[in-house]
Amino acid sequence: MTLIATHTEQGLDAAPVALYRLSGVTRTYRQKDRVVKALAGVDLEITRGDFVTIQGPTGGGKSTLLQLLGALDRPSAGSVMLGDTDLAKASNAQLTKVRAHEIGFVFQGFNLIPTLTAAENVDMALEPLGVTKQERTQRVEEALARVGLAERADHLPGELSGGQQQRVAIARAIVKQPKVLLADEPTGNLDESMRDEILVVLEELCAEGLTLIVVTHDSAVAKRAKRRLRLERGTVRDITRK
């Protein structure tokens, strides 16, 4: 059993295949007596197997875009296609299923339950999927081994370093065998050494076929991506070659 689809399975040995296609995406919010436009007509395509970073100033729309990609919010206008599913038009039940099966999330705060072991924290991601107990055990073991924590499965979060806790969070995200991993400042709470360790893990997962989208303020993180985007005033620019 593999946690990540191979390049061949995803068609990456042939022509690139779009995972996300955003067309004319806007997102507005009402704040007291004014309307704030967080996203202003975003057109964007992200292919399977990409490692994409998103940078930009605070309030520029990064978190809003990540929420739309993660099926956590809907655009005010436009379409957000994940494969053949338009997340803008999908029902709440469909969005719940997409989040459970197709999208992995990693955050700056590790969001681990302190009273559960590393293995138990990872296993929680499988609860909504109807996976058998035997398969759950196997997938949890594989996910922790994949991030180099097989020997720490029985440790509580408080017994792990910050970098190890983030590895557990990554294992929890990939144990679902998602199509894409969305990471919001995944190295923001780590020192440079731990940051680099986490980046190596993420890069290896991407090399195996996982699509990786990372919001970051750290240029050292952004420069390691295949593709760099800048989101400012609700508009996306590709700055990969700059």
Instruction: Name the region of 59 (left: φ>0; alpha: ψ -120 to 50; beta: rest).
Output: left
pLDDT of amino acid 90? 96
pLDDT in tens, 60-81: 899 999 999 999 999 999 999 9
Q: CA–CA separation, 222 vs 213, rounded Å?
A: 11
Could you write out the three-class secondary structure of the chain?
A: CCCCCCHHHHCCCCCCCEEEEEEEEEEEEEECCEEEEEEEEEEEEEECCCEEEEECCCCCCHHHHHHHHCCCCCCCEEEEEECCEECCCCCHHHHHHHHHHCEEEEECCCCCCCCCCHHHHHHHHHHHHCCCHHHHHHHHHHHHHHCCCHHHCCCCHHHCCHHHHHHHHHHHHHCCCCCEEEEECCCCCCCHHHHHHHHHHHHHHHHCCCEEEEECCCHHHHCCCCEEEEEECCEEEECCCC
Q: Kindly report the length of the chain.
A: 242
Q: What is the pLDDT of residue 13?
A: 52
pLDDT exceeds cutoff 90 at 148: yes
Two tokens at 98?
Answer: 């997409």
Name residue 51's beta-bridge partners.
Answer: 212
CATH of domain 7-238: 3.40.50.300
Q: Is residue 100 scored above 90 in pLDDT?
A: yes
Any idea what the Cα angle at residue 97 is, between residues 26 and 72, rounded to 5°? Answer: 30
Name the pTM for this structure: 0.90
| 27's tokens | 């997102």
- Report residue 10's pLDDT band, with 50, 70 and 90 as the boundaries: very low
Q: How confident is the model at residue 11 (pLDDT cuts 50, 70, 90)?
A: very low
Instruction: Domain ranges for the chain, please list them.
Output: 7-238
* End-to-end C-alpha distance for the chain, whole angstroms: 40
Say which residue, 1 or 83, is predicted with more confidence: 83
Per the CB < 8 A criterion, the answer to whether 25 and 80 are in contact is yes
The tokens for 226 are: 């295949």
* Tens of pLDDT, residues 210-242: 999 999 999 999 999 999 999 998 999 999 875
Tell me the pLDDT tens digit for each residue of 109-123. 999 999 999 999 999
- Whether 6 has a pLDDT exceeding 60, the answer reads no
| Whole-angstrom distance, CA of residue 16 vs CA of residue 47 | 6
pLDDT (tens digit per residue) in 160-205: 999 999 999 999 999 999 999 999 999 998 999 999 999 999 999 9
Q: Is the dihedral of CA 47, 199, 53, 81 positive or negative?
A: positive
pLDDT at residue 12 greater than cutoff 70: no
| Residue 179: how many other CB atoms lie within 10 Å | 21
